[in-house]
Amino acid sequence: MDKWEYKTIKFKTTGWAGGVLDETDFDGELNRMGFEGWELVSCFDTNQGHGASRDVIAVFKRKL
């Protein structure tokens, strides 16, 4: 049976009402994690209110 380890990373958004994600930094971090053998399994945002995103959460896994 395969065994996995998991890692969660939180990316802060910016902007007056939130919801602005620096895509260059986000892509860079996703690529770095992939290079280290992590696979992205889920990505979602947390709601700040009125449809704006507060944080973006990325969940990764890799075999032990």
* Mean pLDDT of all residues in 12-40: 92
Contacts of residue 44, Cβ cutoff 8 Å, sequence gap at least 6: 56, 57
- Entry pTM: 0.85
What does the pLDDT look like over 34-56, one tens digit per residue?
Answer: 999 999 999 998 887 777 778 99
Residue 21 three-state SS: coil
Q: In angstroms, rounded to a whole number, what is the distance separating the alpha carbons of residues 34 and 23?
A: 16
Residue with tokens 């910016």: 14
52, 19 contact by CB (below 8 A): yes
- Please name the helix (run of DSSP H) or strand (run of DSSP E) that holds residue 61, with its range, or none: strand 52-63
